[in-house]
Each structure stands twice: as structure tokens, then as C-alpha cells.
Amino acid sequence: MAVDEKINTMRHSCAHIMAEAVLHLYPKAKIAIGPAIENGFYYDFDFGDEKISDSDLVAIEKEMRKILSTPHEFKRREVSKEEALEIFKDQPYKIELINDLPENETISTYEQDGFLDLCRGPHVSTSKEINAQSFKLTKLAGAYWRGDSNRQMLTRIYALAFQNPNDLKDYLKMLEEAEKRDHRKLGTELDLFHLDAEDPGQIFWHPNGWAMYIKLQDYIRNKIKNDGYVEVNTPAIMPRTLWERSGHWGHYQKNMFITESEKRLFAIKPMNCPGALEIFNSRQRSYKDLPLRMAEFGHCVRNEPSGTLHGIMRVRGFVQDDAHIICTEEQIESEVAQFCRLLVDVYKDFGFDKNLIVKLSTMPEDHVGDEATWAEAEKALGNACHSAGMDYEIQEGEGAFYGPKLEFTLVDALEREWQCGTIQLDYQLPSEERLNAQYIGSDNQKHHPVMLHRAVLGSLERFMGILIEHFAGNMPVWLHFEQAAVVPVAQDFNDYAEEIASNLRAQGFAANAYTNSDNMKSKIKMLTSEHKVPYILVVGQREQDEKSVCVRFRPSSGKAQTTMTVSDFTKYITEKCRSKDLEI
């Protein structure tokens, strides 16, 4: 049994132990389902009129450990549908599951310590394989039965579970650190943005946060300009007829915000791709025009369920560093390889290039197009990836219905994985059946191009949230909203402080002089904790006389303060920003 399969089997078995413990404490409860999930498991219960809270989890944990104190076998038994219905006659959610099983489906139960559950399995052989100190119940949540908001709201109990107690302790430490780094918490402390409950999934960027957002956008804009992209912009609202031709109306309508004007339906765009092909189709194209790399920082809006929203990581309104490469089949491999090199170059500037995970998603069951074309497309993506010096894992059957794709996952400071970059190969959208994009080939005949959908950062909003948590708010110098703060030791040196800040701003740096009446120590404390400024420049009589500054580095750098001439500091910060150095 593979390691992942083994630990998931243990987690699912632990879910059964939890269900048993719950029924010991709450005999009237009704049980639903309890799968293993990443890092643990959950189980859904209907407690009826009884109410439980997070404080009750301690008692349930205690009962679970009591059950585990005596070893019990997990016994599997196959039963008929009639027998299963009789066994679970007092458990309505199990009855529904049984009745919904296909004809001739094998029905099995698992029993341990007198607790019987409907389950396909597998399970551990004996409860001795579950370490009583390696799990922890974490929280309660509401969950509609079968995900249907018209059905009963159940109580979901979440738990963490690992092979041994040390793994659990390490994960809990990571969660503790993640809480400190939470981008929502730091977003408030650094005055970057706020979220309004009356306008879910939309971000209100404050000056500090917007300054960094613009820097990030300008950074990627310069990168792609140097890589041969042209930038375009398409309407925020486009007609239903276009979305029908692209196929999005049939496949994605539930996630669109729809509006009406003059008896016509329009959708606020959830993605930019149809607009890119509209630009391509606006005039006759030749093979000499290809590849055409069109980038768009288009604002997209998706009607995501409010329960799935999370800070600026999962929102309704967002901007992608989106681009669509329209090319010939012969150009696919070279274009994908070039994109892969661009992506690595970008990730390197954030320190994400060392543990990059690449996955090639192959043909799904519900694909369109013939298998031979798919095989060629998958081969081209794989070869391009290797040409760019990267290895990849295969994700069988995880491609989009229109073509295979490469997904790029970065690993942050807490070793969490974030899938950000992607490049998708699309034969369908440019086809005659969809948006009918055409170019005149070297044979003077009309041909349909291929479309590559690609993003490096993905959503700029989400990537900004990842950066905030990765750097714990201590953003790289080039990206920070305030790169240098000048603090006079006394008000007699306010003019000198203003002069330094003004000169730095004139050279393009974000710098401010703090000349109010607060004492120097309180200013430094505020700039260190609330602004996390990379460089605090303290100035007094000596600095004024010598045209220098006393540089206090951000505490997390571990660097001792030093004195530099103004000229030397300017050269220093210039090089740090030019090289995108992550060390200050």
C-alpha cells in the first residue's frame, strides 16, 4: 500500500472511531458520511435538537481515546440491499445512500467495537494502527446534506490526523505560524485593504496595498513586454451571443453575473479568452503574424458561492496576468518552452524557483477531439517542459475538455503548495464550431490556429495574498509600499529629513520623512511593527554635517545598523531594487 493510501486509510478509520464516540455521547444523533481529507478527516452528523459547540470537541476526543485504549478489529461484511436497509433503518442518511446505490452494487459494512457503519472501505486491520495521540479535533462547521442548500444542514466535525504525534505537533506549529502570517490580519495591520461583508468577494485596496499591487502589475507587464507580448484590453461586459459561441454560456453560466439592456442579455466577463479572439478576428491574419502573444490585465468577475470566499485569496472580482498565444501547431512546443522559461524567471525573483512542482494534465474522459491529436498535444507540452529544463508529474485525466495543460505549483515559506501558473492548449475555441479564428497559411489557404491560454502569477489578488503570507508582511524592498522612512532625532533636523526623503522620491523610491512631534523611539517602533519598513534612516547633527544617514535595517534581516553617505545609500537601494534581491 502506497504511503498516501496508507495514511488515508488510517484517517478514514479514525473517522469511524469519531462517529462511534459521538454516538456514545449523543445516542440520538444521526450519522451521515466521514471521508479522509488532506491532513485529516471529517464526519457529518445530525444532532437534531441537541446543540454542540467547539468546547464539546474535548469530550469527543477523550471518548475516542478511551475507545482506542482497547484494541478492536475492523470487520468487513458484504450484505444485501434488504439487509442493509434493515440494519440502518434508524439512520435516514444511510438509508438514502443505500437506496441511491446502482443495481448490483456490492454493499459492505464495517464494524469495530460494536459500531457498525455503511462503508466501501478500506480500513486498517485493527485500531492498534491508530495512534491515540496523533489526531486532534479542530472545529465545527455547517454542511448541507449532499451539498444541496435545499437539504438539511448537518454539523461537520473536522479533525487532523497523522501517522505519529510528532507529525501532528509539527503541523500544529505550522498552523500557528500561518495564523500569524494570515494575509487578512496583516492586511489590516499594514493598512493594505479591507473586505466588506455587504460586498462579498470584492477588495477595497487602500493606498499602501494599491501601491504594491501596481508595482506587481508593472513588474509582470515589463517582463512580458520584453518577452514579445503586446497588451490589449477588452470590454468588461459582452453579449450572450458571444458567450454562446465560445461555449461558456452552456458550461459556465451559473458563475456569471448577468445583466440586460435593450432586451438583450449580457454577461460581465468571468475570463478574457473570447475577447482575445475577437481582436484576432477583427482583420485578416497571415501565418507571418504568428505567433501573436496578446496579454490582458482584464478585470474578471465570477459568481463564486459566498461560503468559498477567503480574504483576497478567493474572490469574485480579480485580475489575472492573463495572455493568449495564438499560433500554428508547429509553434506549440517552442511557445510553451518560452513560456516555461519566463515563468521560472519570474518565480526566481520571489524565491519560488527552487521547489517548483510541474504537472501535466492529460486527456479526460469527456474530451472533445480525436485521441491522436491529444497524444500529439500532450507530447508537445512534455517536450517543451523538458526543453525549459523542468521535470513534471502526470495528472491522468485532469486536462480541460478542450486540451491538455501544464500546471505550476509553488511552495511557500511554510511548505504550503499554491497552484498559480498554467498553460492550456486549446484547439476548440479557435475552431469553426466556436469562434472560427482563421489565418492565411504559406499555402495561401485558410487554417485555424491553436490557442494557448497562460498565466504566470494567476490572479494578482491571490498572488499578493500568497506573498504577504510567504514574507510575513516583510515584503521585498522593490515591492514594499514604503521602502525608506527618514526619522530625525529631534525637530531641529526636520528639514534635512525632508530633503533626503524628497531626493529619494525624485529617484522613484517610496520614501517619507516623519517630522511630527512624536518622539524618535515611538516613530521607529511604529515603522518597524506597523509598516515593516525595510530601511529606517535616522538623522541628527552628525548625519546632517556629513551628508549621511544612520541606516536601521528591518529586524528580521539580522543586520546591525550602519552609517552610509546619502549617495552610498541611494546606490545601495537602487541595486537592491534593480536586482530584485530578497535580502535587504
Beta pairing partners, 317: 301
**Per annotation, catalytic residue among 302, 359, 470, 532:** 302
Distance CA 515, CA 495 (A): 9
Q: In terms of DSSP H, where are the helices of 183-229?
A: 183-189, 207-226
Distance CA 447, CA 431 (A): 9
Active-site annotation holds for 194: no
**Per annotation, catalytic residue among 405, 434, 454, 552:** 405
Distance CA 563, CA 139 (A): 51
**Per annotation, catalytic residue among 11, 94, 156, 273:** 273
Active-site annotation holds for 391: no
Active-site annotation holds for 66: no
Active-site annotation holds for 453: yes
Active-site annotation holds for 302: yes
**Per annotation, catalytic residue among 184, 293, 324, 523:** 324
Strands lying side by side in the sheet with 548-553: 511-513, 484-488, 535-539, 548-553, 562-565
Cβ 549 vs Cβ 543: under 8 Å: yes
Active-site annotation holds for 320: yes
**Per annotation, catalytic residue among 11, 156, 453, 480:** 453
**Per annotation, catalytic residue among 117, 322, 412, 426:** 322
463 three-state secondary structure: helix
Task: Count Cβ atoms within 10 A of the Cβ of residue 532 and give its class: 0-12 exposed, 13-18 middle, 19 or more buried.
Answer: buried
Distance CA 44, CA 460 (A): 35
Active-site annotation holds for 327: no
571 three-state secondary structure: helix
- For residue 578, the number of C-alpha atoms closer than 13 Å in the C-beta half-sphere is 7
Q: What SS3 string covers 124-180? A: CCEHHHCCCCCEEEEEEEEEEHHHCCCCCEEEEEEEEECCCHHHHHHHHHHHHHHHH
Task: Count Cβ atoms within 10 A of the Cβ of residue 528 and give its class: 0-12 exposed, 13-18 middle, 19 or more buried.
Answer: middle
Distance CA 382, CA 405 (A): 10
**Per annotation, catalytic residue among 320, 338, 424, 483:** 320
Q: Please state, in angstroms and as integers, the Cα–Cα distance from residue 260 to each residue in 243, 264, 266, following that order.
A: 14, 6, 6
Q: Please state, in angstroms and as integers, the Cα–Cα distance from residue 350 to each residue in 154, 173, 213, 227, 579, following that order.
A: 42, 24, 15, 19, 11
Give the list of residues 6+ apart from residue 313 with CB closer than 8 angstroms, or none. Answer: 183, 461, 462, 465, 466
Active site residues: 273, 302, 320, 322, 324, 405, 453
